[in-house]
Chains A and B, each alone.
Chain A
Amino acid sequence: MTGLIGKRKQAPCRAALALLLSCALSPAAAKETLLVLSVDAEYLESGMPLYGQIGAQLALIKGERDAIALAIELRRSEVLTALPEAIAKVAQAANADLVLDRSVAERAGEPAARDITPEVERILVAQFGQRALEIEQ
């Protein structure tokens, strides 16, 4: 009976020892997991319809074309400036470690990383989609 109790007590230690050994022998199994998300950076930086909407105002607003063109450029650069913040917002909400461009994610062996491009785009559209251009008179 005593022997049986002794064996039972040793069992968890043996399991831990086995795990310890497996960790030491198999580093791949000991990899710390990272939550990696991806975006299509090119699309967010230049391909979104939002940029087209901003540019289209050149034909819709009456006034000096140079001033309107300048206001459009400024608005586009405002969107680009807000882009990292929008990505960070989605990443933090998801408790992510990293956000990589789709091509970098593939290179890093994370081709299945969840694509958050639509969520980032929604934030930017909500922020800038309806905002009127600020044209210097």
Chain B
Amino acid sequence: MKPLVLATWLAVSAGAAVASPPILVVDLSEAYSRSTALAGLLADVDRQLQALSARHRPGLDRLRSELGKLKQQGAGTRDPQLAIAKQISDIETAAELEQDQLSIANQNAIAIVNAAIAAVKSTLKEETQARIVLDVQETQYLRPTCACIATERLYELLNATLPRVELRLDAAPQ
């Protein structure tokens, strides 16, 4: 009987080792924490926003305070009031421009990550010879223990191929 048991074990384990579902499903809902590139990007954007605020806020606060004082002094200070209002407007415009650049840089970086995710899905499809890789949103029901769930492998491949994405503030819109 022993060879038969061994044969069965070999056959079953061989099947299990290479068996893969024809459809894979990935859940990207936690991409901003599971992808090291996206988590890093989020931290970079946050840092840039704080730096932007630190650059402009003190000047704006000082000018607004000066403007308030001049307004209390009366109509004789009209010209200095206008000059300060202009300075405030210039700083606000510059800050808005920097915010727009940051937003474009963020979108460009996200596009790089999205392209990497698409490439990783192709790799996943090739390495498992699956027919298709679906996003969980494309399913109506997914058994929580389904062998088709490939989320862990997707993040493993994604973090290996794109561990980081650069937030390029000097880059032109893509």
Residues of A within 8 A of B (CB): 9-13, 15-17, 19-20, 23-24, 27-28, 30-34, 36-37, 39, 41, 84, 87-88, 91, 96-101, 104, 107-110
Contact = CB atoms under 8 A, between A and B. Distances in A.
Interface stretch (B28-36, B48-56, B91-99, B138-146): B138-146
Contacts of B25: 98
B3 interface: yes
Interface stretch (B10-18, B80-88, B110-118): B10-18
Contacts of B142: 97-99
A104 B21 contact: no
B148 interface: yes
B119 interface: no
B23 interface: yes
Given A20-B10, A39-B140, A34 B146 contact: yes
Interface stretch (B65-73, B101-109, B126-134, B153-161): B126-134
Contact of B21 (A13, A17, A31, A41): A31
Given A91-B143, A108-B131, A16 B22 contact: no
A15 B17 CA distance: 17
B89 interface: no
Interface of B: 3-4, 6-8, 10-11, 14-15, 17-23, 25, 129, 131-132, 134, 138-143, 146-148
A34 B141 contact: no
Nearest to B4: A12
Given A34-B146, A108-B131, A110-B23, A13 B139 contact: no
Contacts of A98: 23, 25, 139, 141-143, 146, 148
B18 A108 contact: no
B1 to A, nearest CB: 10
A109 B21 contact: no
Contacts of B14: 16, 19-20, 23-24
B19 A91 contact: no
A16 to B, nearest CB: 4
A20 B67 CA distance: 83
B112 to A, nearest CB: 27
A104 B141 contact: no
A91 B134 CA distance: 18
Given A9-B3, A23-B14, A31-B21, A97 B148 contact: yes
